[in-house]
Structure 1
Amino acid sequence: MVRKDPIFEARTNVKLHSNRLKKEAVRAEATYKSEKAKADKAMKNREFQIARIHAGSAVREKRRQVTLKSEAARADVIINELKAAQSTRDTSRTLAMASRGLDAASKSVNLEHLVAHANNFLARSEDFKIASSAIEDVAQGVSMQEYGAEGESEVDRMMEQLADDAGVDMRRALDADRAPEAEVKEQQQQQPAEVEDGLESRLRALRALT
């Protein structure tokens, strides 16, 4: 058999009660308006006794409407309080379950083994650091033996010198491939002379024809 939630049932019942009160308040307001209209009509017809009866009924319905609305408002407040209580209870249950889960997990963990593994990991990490440092020292020693006492700085100077030498060689190669300036000037001077000789020969040919 499924166990019912008492707080949920209480919320449901109060909610239904609040809805009934609100509906009754709406009907009371409608009755109040109707009785007031009847009293107004009787007053216009100078039926004072009838007007008084309807006026009294309208006043009672108006008071009833106010009372019903007040009770419905109280019911809504109770619903909110029940909702807050249910939320608090559910949170408490969740925390209790989490606490039990942590207790079970802590019982399954051997703290001594955990600390031992952590210390072993730290020791191995230190060993790797020492080995890495030793390898770096050996590499630096080999570099010193290859390059001499001045080390990398001497190699850097040699590389700069080689770059300078390469730059000079490249400039010389460019100068060797470049045509001499005297030859260029001579060719520039010969071109107009050749053009003039061609024109004179054509003129002589035309004169001979005439």
Structure 2
Amino acid sequence: MFVVFEGGDGAGKTTQSRLLAEWLEEQGRTVVRTRQPGGTALGTKVRELVLDPSTGDVDPRAEALLYSADKAQHVAEVIRPALAAGADVVCDRYVDSMIAYQGAGRVLDPAEITKLARWATGGLCPDLTVLLDVDPDDALAAKDLGDRLESAGESFHHRVREGFLALAEEDPGRHLVVPARGARDEIAARVRDAVTRLREKPGG
């Protein structure tokens, strides 16, 4: 299975992806846990470029192209080989993040960003996308806003949240929307239940 965790900064994606990976391993599954941007040597360099404030102003289109390069390399080098080998892949961010951040957040055409992201990933879609939904005002209040995206401003992050919710509404069969400020173990249980239901489907 290919499971992705999405959501705004501070939503708890890293924690929940770790908990799911640990649970899958307890079931005897081989798990590859990874993230975007990053997950490859090229992706790590891209991550440094797009998040480092010292990079300066980056044109939104250039930003989108950098993220798409990360995704193309990540899918080719990590995700597809892992799935082909029979492993489960648990990824912190994927295509929805690019559509929400560079499309809704940077006010680029979501259709164009979607097309670019799908092309970069070769059309590979997750079996399940878990959207950890959180009010940006709550999530960012407790964070040290050190990187370029975290410090992009309130209106930017509210547009990103609306972008994520719109994607989940468009494709409810693939999305599980969970309030991110719920109890950690309760969120993890809901995710496990969703994964179990998918596995019980024919061909799961």
After TM superposition, the score normalised by the length of structure 2 is 0.17
After TM superposition, the score normalised by the length of structure 1 is 0.17
Q: Which has the higher strand share?
A: 2
